[in-house]
A and B are shown apart, each in its own frame.
Chain A
Amino acid sequence: MARFLLSRLAISCLVLIVVSMLSFGLFHLTGDAALAFAGEDTTEAEMALIRERLGLGKPIYLQYLVSVEKLLKGDFGISLFTQEPVIGLLISKLAVTVKLAAISICIAVAIAIPLGVISAYSYNSWVDWLVTFSVTIGQAIPSFWLALMLSTFFGLYLGWLPVAGDGSLRHFVLPSVTLGIAMVPALTWVTKTGMLDVLDASYILFARAKGLSSARIALFHALPNAILPVISLLSVQLGQLLAGSVVIETVFSINGIGRLALVSIQRADLPIIQSVVLCLACIYLVLTLLADLVNRYIDPRLRNQ
């Protein structure tokens, strides 16, 4: 187990280094970062002062090392516009997005897992056909458009739910439903195929031959085996969710990390973009590692690989 952890951590660090190089490269592609930093009517002398302070004079790889050193010390630099330290901004916005992602995952799991199990148990019946049909439909719906439709219908016409902002929990209902629905098709399909393979397995028949009740079989024998592929998919989907929620956060004007990235992109406020990309990459790696650990815990066959 330790060897597995060590090798995975090594790979993750390597990936992070490459990602930080990529995002650092983005930062430098903008040409004169000093102007973006200084803003208007600064004299040439002041510009030189700022360039010096930002260390832009030095060759690129030196600058990169300096920025990595600063990153390791938790100093993500400061935003060009609000002069706020990026780290504080990042954490507050990330909290909102994580809250949104958590609720969306719960909705997606609450819908997809039962659907997957039901359509597996009633394979080839009209129930199964109905589930597959709605999953195919769900896969094709563009999430930003669904967000608009939901907010227009439930928010405006019926007025049941708030349409914007991230104040109370009620504000999170529509956005997380939209994100949840976007995740349901893939999750249902994986659960269904996982469940079908398990129900075919001979240990299920043998368990029934031992006289165990079908509920006990489903809970202790079928579900643990079927859940393995679902967990790895969930970790990938959660990673994509954090990055992909920029659209939903824009429609429902939720101050999450996605909107922060979009706003700072429109303002060409690149210290923020760089740290957001890095932070999301970090989260993705942690999540996939977590999923692997959970899988290794559940499935003994993986333990000694």
Chain B
Amino acid sequence: MRGVGNLSVDNHRDQEGKLSMWSKRKKFLFGLSIVVCFLLIAILAPWITLHDPYHQDLSSRLLLPFWTEHGSWEYPLGTDELGRDYFSRLVYGARVSIAVGFIVVAISAPIGLLLGIIGGYFGGRTDGVIMFIITTRLALPVVLVTLAIVSITGGSFVVAVLVLGFLFWDRFAIVTRSATQQLRNKQFVTAARAYGSSHAQILFTEIMPNVVNQILTIVSIEMAHAILVEAALSFLGLGVQPPTPSWGLMVAESRALSFFLPHLVTLPGLAIFFLVLGFNLLGDGLQSLNRR
């Protein structure tokens, strides 16, 4: 029961239906377009770049980007400290970041989904155990644990992604658990139970489809989160190792020159920002459209 009887029937918030629906769809489309164009950049990387991102030409180090009067179109965004074309490294960097986003979520989503459903559906003691596991995971400081593991095995892309993958499932578990709990109390689940269908049947036919669309909304937001943490790890030198181009690493490498050549630091930062923004908008849009 919301509002004072029908005193609130003509509450102003309901009238904004038209306006906000439009802005939500706009937000979703805008996010989608950013993500799609980054995907295109990543896939078409070899064709849209002029130089190989690994090729070093020490004699042409730290050239300036085209917009400065000394800049040249041969190296549109100039070159980095080792004379590698900065534009192609930025473009290939997209591959690393997007790959991180997808793989981390691909590993963590199923784990979270499984834990959440088991916890939410069965409740009681099993739910207690699941909540215990989730609390333990939340108590562990993610960045430090990743650092500690990576320091033993040595920083590398695969290690960073695997570690993040196995640490990032908490959000999925929590959302799935609450969604499953809500569904479980709904009549159609008790009805299915009354028909005598087994738990597994209910889980897959009734619960899973509804929960999955809730999960879809936070997939893109968790991808954004994973990209940010990977960039931070690479920035600390414990994520992706040179010479693979990764935006976090590029920010770290050009940090010492940020005073004299600010574009070296700004560009990868902006790239991370836009990709993460795209995923966030996609997620927000999905979430609000889904809620209707």
The reply to whether chain A is a binding partner of chain B is: yes
Whole-angstrom CA separation of A30 from B150 in the bound complex: 11
A142 CB, min distance to chain B CBs, angstroms: 5
Q: Is A265 an interface residue (CB 8 A)?
A: yes
For the complex, count residues of B whose C-beta is within 8 A of A: 53
Please state if A19 and B140 are interface contacts (CB–CB under 8 Å): yes
Contact stretch, chosen from A56-64, A106-114, A199-207: A199-207
Please state if B151 and A145 are interface contacts (CB–CB under 8 Å): no
Please state if A140 and B277 are interface contacts (CB–CB under 8 Å): yes
Q: Restricting to A188-219, which residues have a CB under 8 Å from any CB of B?
A: 196, 200-202, 205-206
A5 CB, min distance to chain B CBs, angstroms: 16
Hey, which chain B residues are within 8 Å of A18, CB to CB? 136
Q: Is A124 an interface residue (CB 8 A)?
A: yes
Contact with A along B22-45 (1 / 0, CB 8 A): 010000000000000000000000
Whole-angstrom CA separation of A23 from B262 in the bound complex: 40
Q: Is A152 an interface residue (CB 8 A)?
A: yes
B131 CB, min distance to chain A CBs, angstroms: 8
Contact stretch, chosen from B71-79, B141-149, B210-218: B141-149
Q: Is B7 an interface residue (CB 8 A)?
A: yes
Nearest A residue to B229 by beta-carbon distance? A244
Whole-angstrom CA separation of A247 from B23 in the bound complex: 35
Q: Is B82 an interface residue (CB 8 A)?
A: no
Nearest A residue to B275 by beta-carbon distance? A140
Hey, which chain A residues are within 8 Å of B276, CB to CB? 139-140, 142
Whole-angstrom CA separation of A281 from B135 in the bound complex: 10
Hey, which chain A residues are within 8 Å of B19, CB to CB? 124
Please state if A277 and B149 are interface contacts (CB–CB under 8 Å): no
Please state if B139 and A19 are interface contacts (CB–CB under 8 Å): yes
Hey, which chain B residues are within 8 Å of A262, CB to CB? 147, 236
Contact stretch, chosen from B103-111, B180-188, B266-274: B266-274
B262's contact among A14, A29, A152, A281, by CB below 8 Å, is which?
Answer: A152
Please state if A142 and B138 are interface contacts (CB–CB under 8 Å): no
Q: Is B255 an interface residue (CB 8 A)?
A: yes
A51 CB, min distance to chain B CBs, angstroms: 20
Hey, which chain A residues are within 8 Å of B7, CB to CB? 205
Hey, which chain A residues are within 8 Å of B139, CB to CB? 15-16, 19, 239, 281, 284-285
Please state if A277 and B140 are interface contacts (CB–CB under 8 Å): yes
Hey, which chain A residues are within 8 Å of B142, CB to CB? 240, 243-244
If the complex has contacts A140-B224, A242-B141, are A149 and B266 also in contact, measured as CB distance less than 8 A?
A: yes
Hey, which chain A residues are within 8 Å of B248, CB to CB? 142, 144
Hey, which chain A residues are within 8 Å of B277, CB to CB? 136-137, 139-140
Nearest B residue to A14 by beta-carbon distance? B132
Whole-angstrom CA separation of A56 from B277 in the bound complex: 49
Please state if B147 and A265 are interface contacts (CB–CB under 8 Å): yes
Q: Is B2 an interface residue (CB 8 A)?
A: yes
Hey, which chain B residues are within 8 Å of A201, CB to CB? 2
A253 CB, min distance to chain B CBs, angstroms: 12
Q: Restricting to A115-140, which residues have a CB under 8 Å from any CB of B?
A: 123-124, 129, 136-137, 139-140
Hey, which chain B residues are within 8 Å of A206, CB to CB? 4
Q: Restricting to B1-57, which residues have a CB under 8 Å from any CB of A?
A: 2-4, 7-8, 11-13, 16, 19-20, 23
Please state if B140 and A152 are interface contacts (CB–CB under 8 Å): no
Q: Is A268 an interface residue (CB 8 A)?
A: yes
Hey, which chain A residues are within 8 Å of B144, CB to CB? 243, 246, 258, 261, 273, 276-277, 280
Q: Is A38 an interface residue (CB 8 A)?
A: no
B147's contact among A148, A152, A205, A261, by CB below 8 Å, is which?
Answer: A261
Q: Is B222 an interface residue (CB 8 A)?
A: no
A173 CB, min distance to chain B CBs, angstroms: 19
Please state if B251 and A148 are interface contacts (CB–CB under 8 Å): yes
B5 CB, min distance to chain A CBs, angstroms: 8
Please state if B141 and A243 are interface contacts (CB–CB under 8 Å): yes
Q: Is A298 an interface residue (CB 8 A)?
A: no
Whole-angstrom CA separation of A14 from B194 in the bound complex: 38
Whole-angstrom CA separation of A258 from B148 in the bound complex: 12
Please state if B255 and A202 are interface contacts (CB–CB under 8 Å): no
Please state if A141 and B273 are interface contacts (CB–CB under 8 Å): yes
Q: Restricting to B105-156, which residues have a CB under 8 Å from any CB of A?
A: 132, 135-136, 138-145, 147-149, 151-152
Whole-angstrom CA separation of A154 from B7 in the bound complex: 53
Q: Restricting to A149-168, which residues have a CB under 8 Å from any CB of B?
A: 149, 152, 156
Interface core residue of B16, B132, B151, B228 (most chain A CB under 10 Å): B151
Across the A-B interface, give the 5 residue pairs with the lowest CB-CB distance, nearest first. A243-B141, A145-B269, A140-B277, A140-B276, A265-B151
9 additional contacts, CB 8 Å, given A124-B16, A144-B232?
Answer: A11-B135, A14-B132, A22-B140, A148-B258, A149-B269, A200-B11, A246-B143, A246-B236, A281-B140
Q: List 10 A-B contacts (CB under 8 A).
A: A23-B148, A140-B224, A140-B274, A145-B269, A152-B262, A200-B11, A201-B2, A240-B141, A261-B147, A268-B151
